[in-house]
């Protein structure tokens, strides 16, 4: 039998959970040094990208590409030079200029001079553009685009070890779009729309962003034209080409009468559906769940899809994820990025938490709602185990480490600790509906744009009416995690607790001011929950209890990233404890390290014996409900030593 109630205790003061105020901190807030593309201030900030039209010859056996990139842009200030980023290994054969953005026919003589060096193209315009002018530029280029940089190469060609298919695919995050097309790698400038024409052998299919609007024959090749009209960060453009077949279906949104196309380009073998049909079909349930909890799938007028590629994971290309396989949490994670990362993109790579921490937490949400409590609890336990492997380092990425891909995408910090930050915020809110209201408000406020950790904090505080400045200072900008040592003892009807907290990165973050939950387990099997607040490294609490406490469990549901030990303090001069005192019904007596209590005697203050027993089991539960109210003398004998205690019998309510 269990009974649960939640109370929030700060020292001896009881405070309602929703009214809790967390003290302000100013230890680790970023100094203002924010990572910026080194080309941005002088060159890239001079224009705003409106439309990309890419036309590329591609195949599944190499990273050789050839074609053109057309760019429609608007001058944001007077400019006479257009700068785009493109790796040096690709050859630029010519650049054309067109003042008529509606026309793809370039008048003779409209070629532009350019210099291609240091992974950038410096294009001299034939006239100075005024702020607000819109123009079209076409860059013809090609060559061997692949660079052997492992997982983070902008374009790769591999043969899968699972099904043996050759695949060429792109992965531009974070700063690798320049590997395969001329680009402005600035997060603040989302591209308004994209047309992608992929020319490949008819035996192949090539997937990309948006909708497949046309397939045209061209000799032995065909041209697949994809179009998307949703704003998109530069690194989310993609293509993947292989011997695919199309396995598609529709998934309901928050209203089952609305749905979205789920288009999957899978390898052309029956083995894939034999192995992964259930995993692919899970996508529909995830889309419905996330739409109900957050907001409808953000790109519902186009599609959500997958392209298989032997990449050892997945990448959330907008509307068309590229992934290795269809494992449950991989599919749940990459889909969640369509809300967190694509619909809202991190405002700076230092705030990668906005992408990866949120998408990782939605894995837990998918387990919680669709798999059950046990699987969800296992997910949290695993996340804590991984995050504990990073005793130092912040979730917020220092500017100096942004170009280190492995630090940026640290599995322990950006993903797992990032997810646990949201889990702790949900615990502190103590209200599931309020938590998802925060997420929904955040998505609505920053839709199709960018957000930072500070932006999310502002939404969180606005919706919850709680101060989370200390939490973000310690958990987001700070380093490490708390290490708790709890000592407890029972004194009559009070549980005395001393909580001592150190941290894994004490020189950087010496304290984490967090609430924590204890489960009190009584000897009679009853249980109750209390919530306490750690404001200082050392805290003492007094918690009222009704019965003899057997043990306490720290953070029983794993709400916190932490390590903890719990120890019971026994009286120095007494090898036993008893309670409750006063007692209404049952008195529980327990000695340590003995199986039998030699003698038990209870007498009133007149010396009259009202109870006696010998050789009783340990622990002993006495029913004193028939005794008259008043004081009594309890005598206990064990190991030939006799102890006396004064107890009081009172009537129950």
Kindly state the average pLDDT of the residues 32-57.
Answer: 93
Residue 86 has pLDDT above 90, yes or no: yes
Q: How confident is the model at residue 139 (pLDDT cuts 50, 70, 90)?
A: very high
How far apart CA 458 and CA 437 sit, in angstroms, is: 14
Range from 156-165, 313-322, 602-611 carrying the lowest mean pLDDT = 602-611
User: What is the phi-psi region of residue 436: left when phi exceeds 0, alpha when psi lies from -120 to 50, beta otherwise?
Assistant: alpha
Residue 426 belongs to what H/E stretch?
helix 418-429
Model pLDDT, residue 523 = 85
Core vs surface per residue 255-264: b (16+ CB within 10 A) or e:
eeeebbbbbb
Q: Are 650 and 584 in contact (CB under 8 A)?
A: yes
Query: pLDDT value at position 15?
Result: 34
Q: What is the pLDDT of residues 254-281, one digit of tens each?
A: 998 999 999 999 999 999 999 999 999 9
**CA nearest neighbour of 228 among 298, 293, 158:** 298
Same domain, yes or no: 322 and 360: no
Task: Show Cβ contacts of residue 340 under 8 Å, excluding neighbours closer than 6 positions.
Answer: 354, 355, 358, 359, 362
Question: Are residue 314 and residue 165 in the same domain, yes or no?
Answer: no
Higher pLDDT pick, 535 / 638: 535
Residue 628 falls within a domain, yes or no?
A: yes
Look at 2 and 366; give whichever has higher pLDDT: 366
Residue 32 resides in a domain: no
Q: What is the pLDDT of residue 107?
A: 82
Examine the fold and report which residue of 515, 536, 569 is the final residue of a domain before the chain moves on.
Answer: 569
Give the CATH number, domain containing residue 637. Answer: 2.60.40.3080
80 and 183, same domain (yes or no): yes
- Cβ-contact 645, 600 below 8 angstroms: no
- Find, among 274, 267, 271, 317, the residue nearest to 165 by Cα: 267
- Strand 64-75 versus strand 113-117 pairing type: unpaired
SS3 (DSSP) at 141? strand
Report, as an integer, the average pLDDT of 481-505. Answer: 94
Q: What pLDDT was estimated at residue 31?
A: 54
Q: CB neighbours (10 Å) of residue 610?
A: 15
Mean of per-residue pLDDT scores for the chain: 92
Q: Would residue 114 count as lying in a domain? A: yes
- Residue 20 scores a pLDDT above 50: no
**626-646 average pLDDT score:** 89
- Using a 10 angstrom Cβ sphere, with 0-12 exposed, 13-18 middle and 19 or more buried, the burial of residue 553 is middle
Strands 320-323 and 304-308: parallel
Q: Mark whether 493 and 352 lie in a shared domain.
A: yes
**pLDDT at 221 > cutoff 60:** yes
- Other beta carbons within 10 angstroms of residue 342's beta carbon come to 25
Q: What are the phi and psi torsion angles at 440 (to 5°)? A: -65, -40
Please indicate, yes or no, whether residues 430 and 468 belong to a single structural domain of this protein.
Answer: yes
Peptide bond into 174 cis (omega under 30): yes
Average pLDDT score over residue span 361-370: 98
Q: What is the pLDDT of residues 145-187, one digit of tens each?
A: 987 666 778 999 999 999 999 999 999 999 999 999 999 999 9
Is the pLDDT reported for residue 593 higher than 90? no
343 in Cβ contact with 399 (< 8 Å): no
Q: Say whether pLDDT at 8 is over 80.
A: no
Q: Which of 526, 617, 638 is nearest to 580 (CA)?
A: 526
Among 166, 206, 264, 156, which residue's Cα sits nearest to residue 56?
Answer: 206
Q: Are 504 and 391 in contact (CB under 8 A)?
A: yes
Residue 613 belongs to a domain? yes
**pLDDT over 70 at 27, yes or no:** no
Name the strand (E) or helix (H) holding 250: strand 244-252
The answer to whether residues 578 and 498 touch, using CB atoms and an 8 Å cutoff, is no
231 with 353, same domain: the answer is no
- Looking at the structure, do residues 256 and 322 belong to the same domain, yes or no? yes
Instruction: List the beta bridge partners of residue 117.
Output: 120
- Output the DSSP codes for 553-614: EESTT--S--EEEEEEPPPTT-SEEEE-SSBSSEEEEEESS-SEEEEEEEEETTS-EEEEEE
- Give the Cα separation of 195 and 537 in Å (integer): 57
Residue 573, pLDDT > 80, answer: no
d(CA 503, CA 249): 50
Question: How far from 345 is each of 328, 532, 646, CA to CA, in Å?
Answer: 24, 36, 66
Q: Are residues 71 and 114 in the same domain?
A: yes
- 612 within some domain: yes
pLDDT in tens, 40-51: 999 999 999 999
CA dist 545 and 520 (Å) reads: 9
Question: Could you say which of 280, 310, 343 is where a domain stops?
Answer: 343
Tell whether the model's pLDDT for residue 16 goes beyond 50: no
> What does the block give as tokens for 60?
């599944």
Using CA atoms of 236, 240, 244, 246 in order, give the dihedral in degrees to the nearest 10.
20
What is the tally of structural domains in the chain?
Answer: 4
Residues 70 and 111 in one domain: yes
Q: How confident is the model at residue 653 (pLDDT cuts 50, 70, 90)?
A: low
Look up residue 259 and give its DSSP letter: E
CATH number at residue 103: 2.60.40.1730
Q: What is the largest CA-CA distance in the chain?
A: 119
Residues 201 and 304 in one domain: no
Task: List the domain range (segments joined by +) for residue 332.
Answer: 243-290+300-343
| The pLDDT value given to residue 21 | 43
Q: Do residues 175 and 249 share a domain?
A: no
Q: Nearest-CA neighbor of 162 among 77, 265, 269?
A: 269
* Domain membership flag for residue 472: yes
| Residue 197 in tokens | 């024409």
Last residue of a domain, one of 569, 604, 636: 569
Asked, for residue 398, whether it belongs to a domain, the answer is yes
Averaged pLDDT for residues 71-89: 97
- 130 vs 133: CA distance, rounded Å: 6
The CATH number of whichever domain residue 275 belongs to comes to: 1.10.390.10
- Taking only the tens place, the pLDDT of each residue in 428-471 is 999 999 999 999 999 999 999 999 999 999 999 999 999 999 99
Please give the pLDDT value at position 479: 97
State pLDDT tens for residues 388-419. Answer: 999 999 999 999 999 999 999 999 999 999 99
Model confidence at 6, pLDDT cuts 50, 70, 90, reads very low
- Tell me the C-alpha distance between 364 and 373, whole Å: 10
Same-domain pairing of 218 and 261: no
Please report whether residue 546 resides in a domain.
Answer: yes
């Amino acid at each position: 039998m269990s009974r649960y109630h939640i109370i929030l205790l700060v020292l001896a003061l009881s405070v309602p959970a929703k009214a809790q105020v967390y003290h302000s901190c100013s230890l680790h807030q970023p100094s203002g040094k924010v990572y910026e593309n080194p080309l941005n201030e002088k060159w890239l900030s001079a224009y705003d990208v409106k439309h990309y039209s890419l036309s590329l010859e591609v195949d599944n056996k190499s990273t050789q590409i050839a074609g053109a990139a057309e760019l429609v842009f608007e001058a944001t200030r007077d400019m006479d030079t257009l700068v785009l980023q493109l790796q040096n290994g690709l050859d630029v054969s010519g650049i054309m200029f067109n003042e008529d953005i509606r026309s793809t026919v370039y008048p003779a003589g409209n070629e532009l001079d350019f210099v291609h060096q240091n992974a950038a193209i410096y294009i001299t315009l034939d006239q100075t553009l005024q702020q607000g002018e819109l123009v079209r530029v076409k860059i013809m280029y090609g060559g061997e685009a692949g660079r052997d940089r492992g997982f983070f190469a902008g374009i790769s060609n591999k043969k899968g070890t699972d099904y043996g298919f050759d695949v060429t695919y792109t992965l531009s995050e974070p700063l690798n779009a320049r590997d395969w097309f001329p680009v402005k790698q600035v997060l603040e400038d989302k591209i308004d729309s994209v047309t992608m024409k992929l020319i490949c052998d008819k035996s192949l299919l090539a997937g990309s962003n948006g909708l497949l609007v046309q397939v045209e024959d061209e000799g032995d090749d065909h041209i697949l034209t994809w179009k998307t009209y949703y704003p998109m960060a530069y690194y989310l453009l993609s293509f993947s080409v292989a011997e695919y077949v199309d396995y598609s279906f529709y998934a309901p949104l928050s209203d089952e009468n609305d749905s979205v196309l789920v288009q999957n380009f899978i390898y052309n073998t029956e083995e894939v559906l034999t192995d992964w049909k259930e995993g692919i079909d899970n996508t529909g349930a995830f889309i419905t769940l996330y739409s109900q909890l957050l907001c409808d799938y953000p790109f519902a007028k186009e599609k959500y899809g997958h392209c298989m590629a032997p990449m050892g994971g997945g990448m959330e290309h907008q509307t068309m994820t590229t992934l290795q396989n269809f494992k449950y949490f991989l599919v749940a994670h990459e889909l969640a990025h369509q809300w967190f990362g694509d619909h809202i993109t991190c405002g700076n790579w230092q705030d990668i938490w906005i992408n990866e921490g949120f998408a990782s937490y939605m894995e837990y949400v998918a387990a919680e709602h669709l798999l059950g409590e046990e699987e969800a609890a296992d997910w949290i336990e695993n996340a804590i185990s991984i995050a504990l492997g990073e005793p130092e380092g912040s979730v917020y990425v220092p500017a100096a480490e942004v170009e280190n891909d492995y630090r940026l995408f640290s599995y322990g910090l950006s993903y797992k600790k990032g997810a646990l930050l949201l889990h702790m915020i949900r615990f502190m809110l103590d209200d599931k509906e309020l938590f998802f209201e925060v997420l929904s408000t955040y998505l609505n406020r920053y839709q199709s744009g960018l957000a930072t950790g500070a932006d999310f904090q502002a939404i969180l505080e606005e919706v919850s009416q709680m101060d989370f400045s200390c939490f973000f200072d310690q958990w987001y900008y700070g380093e490490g995690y708390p290490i708790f040592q709890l000592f407890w003892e029972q004194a009559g009807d009070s549980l005395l607790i001393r909580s001592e907290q150190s941290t894994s990165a004490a020189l950087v973050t010496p304290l984490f001011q967090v609430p924590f939950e204890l489960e009190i387990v009584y000897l009679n099997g009853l249980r109750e929950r209390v919530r306490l607040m750690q404001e200082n490294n050392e805290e003492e609490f007094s918690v009222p209890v009704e019965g003899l406490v057997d043990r306490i469990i720290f953070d029983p549901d794993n709400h916190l990233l932490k390590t903890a030990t719990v120890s019971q303090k026994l009286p120095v001069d007494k090898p036993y404890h008893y309670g409750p005192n006063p007692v209404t019904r049952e008195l529980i007596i327990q000695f340590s390290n003995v199986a039998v209590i030699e003698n038990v005697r209870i007498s009133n203050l007149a010396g009259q014996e009202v109870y006696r027993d010998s050789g009783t089991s340990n622990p002993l539960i006495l029913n004193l409900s028939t005794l008259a109210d008043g004081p009594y003398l309890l005598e206990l004998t064990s190991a030939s030593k006799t102890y006396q205690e004064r107890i009081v019998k009172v009537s129950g309510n």
